[in-house]
Amino acid sequence: MNKLSLPPKNVSEVLSGEKLADKLKSLIGMKFILTNKPRTDGSMLRKLITRVLDDNSIETADKEDYVIIPVKKKGIPKLLACLADSYIVTTGDNYNLQVWNRFPNTSNTLIEYSGTTNCINCRDIRFIFVQIDTATQQIQTVVVATPQYIVDKFGEFGIPTMKYQLIISDLKRREITQSKSKCLFFDDTEKMSYHTTKEYRISSDKISEKPKSGNLLSINVIKNIVVDSLLGKNIANTDTKNRGQALERIVADFLGYKVDETLTGGYPDIPNQLLEIKVQDSATVDLGKYSPSNPVVVNDELGLTTEDIRYLIALTDEKGAIEGVILCPGKKLGSLFTFVNDTNFKCQRSIPMSFFNNYKGSSAFNP
């Protein structure tokens, strides 16, 4: 176990924000090769930070001296001994800070120490932002910030967004990507089939318009139009949200929609075809606020639920190339893959990229 993942022995002796930023100054200019796999890159960054900070001066608590309050340790920072979490910043006009399963800038308790009134609250956890130049693959900026600083400078965090998740194992992924068709496919549910057509019709509707019974393309028609065209296509290696939107536009274009229309951002991604679209490059797929594991009616007119919604999941390699496709109704996902048993949530705050650019070449605390 990484030593820094344990609680500090004494909260009062944890490095101050100023000292934390000063120690991390040695990261500036260091090479950091991005794999564009969020989990892998995040783990690599934590290991790098640990090597810098763990100089044997950090004391951690004994197991019997503390209690972890959140169920299943949800929201506990990976660099708990330093009261910090780390985040990678790369390109774009804005950086979308996402804090999972923890309410930043609140007094919600994460750790209680036995026999004392001492505790660690959400507001005690600092953010370590590490900006990486994607051209040179070098660390160019480090900013250490408290939740209060983020709120004061950029505004309150957004209302927490609940998220369901799906696990696609490496074994199942290989079975799909190494198969002859490179596609895992299942037909529409019986309820959905009643409203579909097997004829391909270029839609005059907008992506956002409600579907009409008899005008929905069958999932088999969607497969014939989309799957082969997607295989080998490259999705730019940016953050998950932008990659997902890029794929939505590609699929919509293949289906005959005008892709200059603003994406709906709701569920499902292409409402006019009741088609939900995901990009998967790690074991976990974020399903969003809706999941077939919790069937709810999402179209009152047609009486269709999350089990009937069609899911298209593009499996991408480390360079962003689509090497496999899953296309099936939501009802099939549970028998093929593993739903995470409970939901997760995230609190978000947009930060202008210019903020990080202003401190290029330096490591600063609440600048």
pLDDT in tens, 209-262: 889 999 899 999 999 999 999 999 988 766 666 778 889 999 999 998 887 666
Read off the tokens for 182.
């490179």
- What are the tens digits of pLDDT across the range 301-320? 999 999 999 999 999 988 88
**Are residue 300 and residue 193 in the same domain, yes or no?**
yes
Residues 38 and 114 reside in one and the same domain? yes
Which residue range forms the structural domain that includes residue 74?
Answer: 3-163+346-365
Q: Residue 118: which pLDDT band, with cuts at 50, 70 and 90?
A: confident
Does 264 have pLDDT greater than 70? no
Claim to verify: residue 151 and residue 184 sit in the same structural domain: no
Query: Is residue 175 domain-shared with residue 156, that is, in the same domain?
Result: no
pLDDT at 239: 62
Instruction: For residues 213 and 193, state if they share a domain.
Output: yes
- Model confidence at 203: pLDDT above 90: no
pLDDT in tens, 266-282: 899 999 999 999 998 77
**pLDDT attached to residue 5:** 92
50, 135 contact by CB (below 8 A): no
Instruction: Identify residue 336 by its one-letter amino acid code.
Output: L
Q: How far apart are CA 247 and CA 252, in angstroms?
A: 8
Structural domain includes residue 220: yes
Percentage with pLDDT > 90 across the chain: 66
- Rounded to 10°, the helix 219-230/240-254 angle is 120
Q: Do 178 and 236 sit in the same domain of this protein?
A: yes
Q: For residue 18, how many other CB atoms are within 10 A of its CB?
A: 12
Q: In Å, what is the CA distance from 67 to each residue of 2, 5, 110, 124?
A: 18, 14, 9, 17
Residues 76-103: tens digit of each pLDDT: 999 999 999 999 999 889 999 999 999 9
Residues 218 and 75 in one domain: no
Dist CA 18 CA 5 (whole Å): 21
What does the DSSP 8-state code read for residue 271?
G
Do 86 and 213 lie in one domain? The reply is no
Q: Please indicate, yes or no, whether the overall pTM of this predicted structure exceeds 0.75.
A: no
**pLDDT reading at 341 higher than 80:** no
Structural domain includes residue 264: yes
Residues 174, 129, single domain; the answer is no
Domain assignment of residue 134, yes or no: yes
User: Could you tell me the two tokens for 192?
Assistant: 């959905």
Q: Mean pLDDT, to the nearest integer, of 178-196?
A: 95
Residue 341 inside a domain? The answer is no
**Domain total in the chain:** 2
Beta bridge partners of 94: 352
pLDDT digits (tens, 9 = 90+) for 125-164: 999 999 999 999 999 999 999 999 999 999 999 878 778 8
Q: Answer yes or no: do 176 and 287 share one domain.
A: yes
Q: Do 219 and 309 belong to one domain?
A: yes
Tell me how far apart the alpha carbons of residues 214 and 216 are, in angstroms, rounded to a whole number: 6
Residues 146 and 181 in one domain: no
Q: Are 192 and 161 a contacting pair, CB within 8 Å?
A: no
